[in-house]
């Protein structure tokens, strides 16, 4: 082998590293070597839905994306915008100018505030959190403090013609107009609730848990315990790898390239019971971001939803499938519906870090959520749930709550939060037969921003967190530069780094599994050759693994 060829050197390094993983994984189990037969589930799913697909988009409020369906889309049954809603630029000054909602949203170049502190000001108008109901009057004030003119940006929303895919799905299927983020905080804590009904005390990025993985039990674990299947179809880096349990060797075979596998699996009728779609989170020229996070083009997000829907619609599994589209949090954009603050249970008794010591006893801002299935009637609007408790709400913990009931899982609820949250499995039983008139195609979508991806931009907070995850997958978290990793990267650099890290992690883990490593072992990588600083030359590359 010509070791001067970088590609061949990489193959040699990976091969040697696989041997290292096999030797260092907790134990070797010859009985679990390659060729093991997959257990067939005898678990009975009683309802019509055998596959639930979950797509979590980024950082938009309900009013911002769907609010104008009420007055401009002929949907008075949806609790949206009338056009009379407003916020004052100064909450404490009754004579302060009012900023009214508009339907002029097109492109947002800056990222509105959505930290824990920013959200507190947006919904309460001050640091006083005692008001019930929550006034929702501080959005314009908080936005204007970040930059002149930002108030008008966050008070704007998209008319139905600007988000035609959602307009059609809302007409053809179901809209939740009372679905809230689980936490008044940023992306990751809310994404954790989607699959585990807790953020394990996180209200923002927590370095220790990013490195070691968040330890709480997930709905993936509950499905696995009952022999049911799940799959993660990722386009850049799968954020669910923040969960420690998903880093186990046995689960790595459940991660699939969206581009290579999703359409094929759907066409062959091989989609698993629980499907998670993850987007392009980095806005690169060859793979533009399609997660809707500002400043990414919302049209790209619409195209992704269109593609996912049309793929499912053409699948032989369509009559046994449901698609849930929601958003992790509101991203700083205005919404007029008061955030629930009464009767919300702390999921696991863990409080947030100082200085706020948040008790996790109130929800976040309302977010757009659409439910798609041939078992759903046209123009369905789902308001507040009817239980299981007096104050129950639809929020991200409704996903594991519904999965438990939908798939008849034997395990207990994950936390007190999904035991409390409203579930939506009953909506699949309203009809005796699936619809046959569901559209096969959705509208085409034109770009909303005037230019393409800018790979030279700095990273958002969410993207930096993803790079920190990638550094753990790559083994670079042991380097002295870890605390600042991502801060000096451009979007283009981060995109390549994340893709390489995921590929390296999955390749190593799958090789170890095939070689007979304990399937419950968790891969811990050593620093990658490309990111280690010093001590690695062409003659000592193997020692750097």
Output the six-digit token pair for 222.
Answer: 């509950």
CATH number of domain containing 343: 3.40.720
* 104: in domain: no
Pairing, β 394-395 against β 174-176: unpaired
Q: List strand residue ranges (DSSP E) for 241-379, in order.
A: 255-257, 274-277, 321-327, 369-372
pLDDT of amino acid 349:
97
Cβ atoms within 10 Å of 133's Cβ, excluding its own: 11
Q: What stretch of H or E contains 53?
A: strand 51-57
Q: What domain range includes position 492?
A: 456-544
pTM, to two decimals: 0.90
pLDDT in tens, the chain (545 residues): 443 454 444 543 454 344 344 434 444 443 444 334 445 557 889 899 999 999 999 999 999 999 999 999 999 999 999 999 999 999 999 999 999 999 999 888 778 999 999 999 999 999 999 999 999 999 999 999 999 999 999 999 999 999 999 999 999 999 999 999 999 999 999 999 999 999 999 998 666 676 689 999 999 999 999 999 999 999 999 999 999 999 999 999 999 999 999 999 999 999 999 999 999 999 999 999 999 999 999 999 999 999 999 999 999 999 999 999 999 999 999 999 999 999 999 999 999 999 999 999 999 999 999 999 999 999 999 999 999 999 999 999 999 999 999 999 999 999 999 999 999 999 999 999 999 999 999 999 988 888 889 999 999 888 998 999 999 898 887 766 666 788 889 999 999 999 999 999 999 998 898 889 999 998 778 776 444 333 332 322 222 23
pLDDT of amino acid 484:
75
pLDDT of amino acid 59:
96
* 149: in domain: no
506 and 411 in one domain? no
Spatial distance between the Cα atoms of 412 and 222, rounded to a whole number of angstroms: 9
Spatial distance between the Cα atoms of 545 and 535, rounded to a whole number of angstroms: 11
Handedness of CA 353, 359, 365, 371 (dihedral sign): positive
Question: Which residues have C-beta within 8 Å of that of residue 306, sequence separation ≥ 6?
Answer: 165, 442, 443, 445
Cβ atoms within 10 Å of 1's Cβ, excluding its own: 8
Q: How far is CA 359 from CA 92, 263, 350, in A?
A: 27, 42, 7
Spatial distance between the Cα atoms of 460 and 462, rounded to a whole number of angstroms: 5
269 and 336 in one domain? yes
Q: What stretch of H or E contains 54?
A: strand 51-57
* 152: in domain: no
- For the chain, the straight-line distance linking the first and the last C-alpha, in angstroms and rounded, comes to 20
222 and 171 in one domain? yes
Question: Which residues have C-beta within 8 Å of that of residue 286, sequence separation ≥ 6?
Answer: none
Q: How far is CA 337 from CA 23, 53, 111, 158, 183, in A?
A: 56, 27, 22, 17, 15
Q: How far is CA 417 from CA 20, 139, 347, in A?
A: 41, 27, 5
* 209: in domain: yes
336 and 219 in one domain? yes
415 and 470 in one domain? no
* 266: in domain: yes
Count of structural domains, the chain? 2
399 and 319 in one domain? yes
């Amino acid at each position: 082998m010509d070791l001067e060829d970088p590609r061949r050197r990489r193959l040699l390094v990976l091969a040697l590293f696989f041997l290292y993983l096999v030797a260092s994984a907790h134990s070797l189990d010859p009985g679990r070597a390659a060729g093991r037969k997959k257990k067939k589930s005898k678990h009975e799913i009683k309802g019509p839905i055998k596959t639930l697909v979950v797509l979590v988009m980024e950082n938009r409020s309900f009013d911002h994306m769907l609010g104008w369906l009420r007055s401009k889309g002929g949907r008075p049954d949806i609790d949206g915008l009338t056009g009379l809603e407003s916020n004052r630029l100064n909450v404490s000054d009754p004579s302060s100018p009012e900023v009214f909602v508009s339907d002029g949203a097109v492109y947002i170049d800056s990222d509105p505030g959505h930290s824990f502190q920013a959200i507190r000001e947006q919904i309460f108008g001050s640091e006083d959190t005692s008001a019930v109901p929550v006034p929702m009057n501080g959005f314009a004030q908080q936005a204007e403090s970040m930059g002149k003119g930002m108030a008008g940006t966050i008070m704007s929303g998209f008319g139905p013609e600007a988000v035609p895919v959602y307009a059609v799905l809302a007409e053809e299927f179901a809209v939740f107009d009372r679905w809230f983020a689980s936490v008044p905080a940023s992306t990751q804590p809310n994404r954790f609730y989607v699959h585990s009904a807790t953020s394990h005390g996180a209200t923002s990025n927590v370095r220790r848990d990013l490195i070691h993985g968040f330890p709480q039990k997930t709905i993936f674990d509950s499905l696995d315990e009952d022999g049911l299947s799940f799959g993660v179809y990722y386009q850049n880096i799968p954020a669910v790898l923040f969960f420690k349990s998903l880093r186990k060797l046995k689960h790595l075979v459940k991660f699939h390239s969206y581009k290579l596998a999703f359409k094929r699996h759907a066409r062959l009728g091989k989609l698993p019971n629980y499907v998670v779609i993850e987007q392009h989170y980095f806005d690169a020229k060859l793979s533009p971001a399609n997660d809707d996070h500002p400043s990414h083009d919302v049209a790209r997000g619409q195209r992704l939803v269109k593609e996912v829907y049309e793929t499912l619609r053409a699948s032989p599994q369509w009559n046994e499938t449901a698609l849930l589209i929601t958003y992790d949090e509101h991203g700083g954009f205005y919404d007029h519906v008061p955030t629930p603050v009464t009767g919300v249970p702390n999921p696991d008794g863990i409080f947030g870090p100082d200085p706020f010591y948040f008790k996790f006893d109130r929800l976040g801002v309302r977010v757009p959520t659409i439910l798609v299935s041939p078992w759903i009637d046209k123009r369905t609007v789902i308001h507040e749930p009817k239980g299981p408790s007096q104050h129950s709400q639809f929020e991200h913990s409704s996903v594991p709550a519904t999965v438990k009931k939908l798939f008849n899982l034997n395990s207990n609820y994950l936390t007190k939060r999904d035991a409390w949250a409203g579930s939506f499995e009953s909506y699949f039983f309203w009809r005796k037969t699936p619809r046959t008139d569901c559209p096969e195609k959705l509208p085409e979508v034109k770009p909303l921003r005037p230019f393409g991806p800018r790979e030279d931009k700095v990273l958002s907070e969410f993207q930096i967190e993803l790079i920190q995850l990638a550094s753990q997958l790559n083994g670079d978290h042991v380097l002295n530069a870890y605390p600042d990793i991502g801060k000096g990267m451009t979007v283009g650099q981060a995109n390549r780094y994340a893709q390489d890290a995921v590929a390296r992690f999955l390749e190593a883990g799958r090789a170890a599994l095939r070689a007979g490593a304990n399937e419950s072992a968790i891969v811990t990588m050593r620093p990658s050759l490309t990111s280690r600083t010093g001590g690695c030359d062409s003659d000592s590359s193997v020692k750097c693994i």
